[in-house]
Structure 1
Amino acid sequence: MRVRLAEPRDVDRLLELMRGLARFEEYIDDFAVTRESVLEHGFGDDRLFTAFVAEQDDDLVGMAVVYTIPWTYTLRPKVVLKELFVEEAARNTGAGKALMAAVMSHGRSIDAAELIWTVMDGNRAAEGFYRSLGASPDGKWNNWSLSLDAKARPVR
């Protein structure tokens, strides 16, 4: 198992992994990410996210996508793990742990104070995996969302 930064040559396989996560988390009907958007936003000096890939036998079997909140109350960045996904056939091979190790190393390299992420409600396997790494749920905060689409109800 080898984990490395994703490169532009990985874009098609990376997109497949992103779609795999979208199917697993049941938002595939709303999935709008394209090859072009991954290339535009994931690579180069102005990238909006960083992707790590797990490679096994010359195939990409997993990915971790992160972005950085550059400034927080600690005066240090915070790394947000947006997506972690390992194909079912490659689970329990160490791919997830290797991806998380790369993400943590990345966070330390930019002097981030914290790595944060969300877990889909009911995903006990993911919760167990993250606990095995020493992580714990944040009992202080819960996630909320507000649609900003034109169809959303206006605030009055």
Structure 2
Amino acid sequence: MEFSFRFAERKDTALILQFIMELAEYEKLRHEVVADETTLEEWIFDRKKAEVLFVLENGREVGFALFFHNFSTFLGRAGIYLEDLYVRPECRGRGYGKALLKKLASLAVERGCGRLEWWCLDWNRPSIDFYLSLGAEPMKDWTVYRIAGDTLQNLARQPEAFGAEKRGR
């Protein structure tokens, strides 16, 4: 098999959404997807908040990685956070997932980043075993916290909790 990589372009927005939906189905989280083409186009291509890398088999996209830069205060430099990595089921076992991670590692090194990191669902043993085989280390003693949706909106609307308000004035 001949494979290659390419970065997504604006015209790929529908394909990006299709990969996201396929991944969500695999993760049994399809009900959580609210993204649409308009939103993806705005945030990926207009605001440039994420990047998408496709892996192609004989010129056809068979997998993708959606990632963005984060920042480590301890390292004093950016890192790459891998939000999604997905290879279509019929193309798994051919090395595309490893090739995507290797390409992201190369990008991290080229860009001077201090690390490449991601989350993995606890039940996803095939992916966990794959990541461990590459030398990835699970983060012990860390728990992911999230505020989203209505909770995020409510927190943003709360009055400041310091100064006169805190003392009840």
Q: By the TM > 0.5 criterion, same fold?
A: yes
1:105 aligns with 2:106: yes
Give SS of 1:55's match: strand
Cα distance in 2 for partners of 1:24, 1:152 equals 29
Give SS of 2:34's match: coil
- TM (normalized to structure 2)? 0.82
| Matching residue of 1:60 | 61
Q: Which amino acid is the alignment partner of residue 65 of structure 1?
A: L
Mark the CA change 1:132 to 1:151 in structure 2 (over 3 Å): closer, same or farther.
closer
Identity of aligned residues (%): 25
| Matching residue of 1:26 | 28
1:53–1:62: 8 Å Cα contact kept in structure 2? yes
User: Between Structure 1 and Structure 2, whose CA radius of gyration is higher?
Assistant: 2
How many positions carry a matched residue from both structures?
Answer: 155
Q: CA deviation at 1:142?
A: 2.0
Give SS of 1:122's match: coil
Q: CA deviation at 1:151?
A: 9.1
Cα RMSD (Å) of the superposition?
2.2
Q: Which has the higher contact order (CA 8 A, sep 6+)?
A: 1
Cα distance in 2 for partners of 1:32, 1:48 equals 18
Cα distance in 1 for partners of 2:134, 2:76 equals 26
Q: CA deviation at 1:150?
A: 5.2
Ranges of 4+ aligned residues in structure 1 off by more than 3 Å: 150-155
5+ residue gaps, structure 2 = 159-169
| Deviates most, 69-78 or 20-29 | 69-78
| Matching residue of 1:15 | 17
Mark the CA change 1:137 to 1:12 in structure 2 (over 3 Å): closer, same or farther.
same
5+ residue gaps, structure 1 = none
Cα distance in 1 for partners of 2:82, 2:98 equals 14
2:5–2:55: 8 Å Cα contact kept in structure 1? yes
Q: CA deviation at 1:148?
A: 4.5
Counterpart of 1:42 (choices 27, 41, 44) is 44
Mark the CA change 1:43 to 1:153 in structure 2 (over 3 Å): closer, same or farther.
closer
Mark the CA change 1:71 to 1:119 in structure 2 (over 3 Å): closer, same or farther.
closer
